[in-house]
Amino acid sequence: MTETVSVIVPAFNESASIEALVSSLRDAAPWHEILVVDDGSTDDTGSRAAREGARVIRHPYNKGNGAAVKTGIRQATGPLVLILDADGQHHPADAARLVARLSEYDLVVGARSKSTQASGVRRAGNALLNAIAGYLAERHIPDLTSGFRAARREHLLEFLHLLPNGFSTPTTTTLAFLRAGYSVHFEPIDAGVRQGHSKIRLGADGFQFLVILLKVITIFSPMRIFLPLSVASFALGAVYAVWTIATQSHVTNSSVLLILLSVIIFLVGLVSEQITSLRFERHQP
């Protein structure tokens, strides 16, 4: 099965780890191709990857991890795709195990165990993202941000227009596959210690991840956001109306405005849900 797999490795200034990664991948299985997308590196990442036999595509400047993944998906020639980071944290020995699951599933995500996920702060942030995404998808999601995943290329192409150029490609693809009704499996793996420095900044990128997650929620399942807000506004207005009737013998404008706001929020959510359904129908094969 691995003979039909295009391995995609987005890389930006990963000269310290890329040679060993490509070599380990070649030893792990007979892949259709190993495609390294050099995302405008200022070091010799591309030449080191090519020296180990990888097919290298270079961006003229740094566009972002998501842009590199999209380039890899477009350029891949195999029907199955395996994506993993170039920093050495993913074990090539696990790659064949993820790919084997594609006989049953459309997307297989390498779910890292908590003990092997970076720092405590990052583990807490990932846990929060997993909880929010689980609420959205109505399914337990053990690792939303893992960049180690395998999928059918034809399905990834369906959602290519939704993928951002930054670091939230794993988040978007996972939620897109779940929302579209594809079968998604989370395969337990142990992640290694990354080589070099992380490109993610906890402050700026952490806030950006939250904003992107909110965008993803409104794209894929808007009523999961609008309905709770509508119910909360209506409940607050109704309770305040009962209290003012009991204490002041009349209903205040604030109560009426809160109830009207709840109706408006609900209608906006309903329209958004219809737009979401039409978008998915338009991009179905």
Give the model's pLDDT for residue 1.
Answer: 80
pLDDT over 60 at 213, yes or no? yes
* Residue 244 Ramachandran class (φ > 0 left, ψ -120 to 50 alpha, else beta): alpha
Greater confidence (72 vs 284) lies with 72
Q: Is 268 helix (H, G, I), strand (E, B) or coil?
A: helix
Of the listed ranges 20-24, 82-86, 136-140, the least confidently predicted one is: 136-140
Helix, strand and coil in the chain, % to nearest 5: 55, 15, 30
Residue with tokens 């029907």: 79
Residue with tokens 């310290």: 16
With 0-12 / 13-18 / 19 or more C-beta atoms within 10 angstroms meaning exposed / middle / buried, residue 92 is buried
Q: What is the mean pLDDT of residues 62-88?
A: 95
Task: Decide the pairing of beta strands 5-11 and 55-58.
Answer: unpaired
Cβ contact 178:85 at 8 Å: no
Task: Decide the pairing of beta strands 80-83 and 149-152.
Answer: antiparallel
What crossing angle do the helices spanning 120-137 and 169-179 adopt, rounded to 10°? 20
Spans of all domains in the chain: 2-219, 223-282
The per-residue pLDDT of the chain, averaged, comes to 86
Q: How far from the centroid of its chain's Cα atoms is residue 250's Cα?
A: 50
Task: Decide the pairing of beta strands 107-112 and 149-152.
Answer: antiparallel
Residue spans of beta strands (DSSP E) within the chain: 5-11, 33-38, 55-58, 80-83, 107-112, 149-152, 184-189
Spatial separation of the C-alpha atoms in residues 141 and 184, rounded to whole Å: 10
pLDDT over 90 at 55, yes or no? yes
From 40, 38, 41, 30, select the one nearest 6 (Cα to Cα).
30
Per CATH, the homologous superfamily of domain 2-219 is Spore Coat Polysaccharide Biosynthesis Protein SpsA; Chain A (3.90.550.10)
Of the listed ranges 18-22, 155-159, 222-226, the least confidently predicted one is: 222-226
DSSP 194: P
Cβ contact 175:136 at 8 Å: yes
Spatial separation of the C-alpha atoms in residues 207 and 191, rounded to whole Å: 24
Q: What is the mean pLDDT of residues 180-204?
A: 71
pLDDT over 70 at 207, yes or no? no
Of the listed ranges 99-113, 121-135, 250-264, the least confidently predicted one is: 121-135
Task: Give the H/E segment covering residue 57.
Answer: strand 55-58
Residue with tokens 């809160």: 258
pLDDT over 80 at 12, yes or no? yes
* One-letter identity of residue 264: I
Task: Give the H/E segment covering residue 42.
Answer: none
Q: Is 55 helix (H, G, I), strand (E, B) or coil?
A: strand
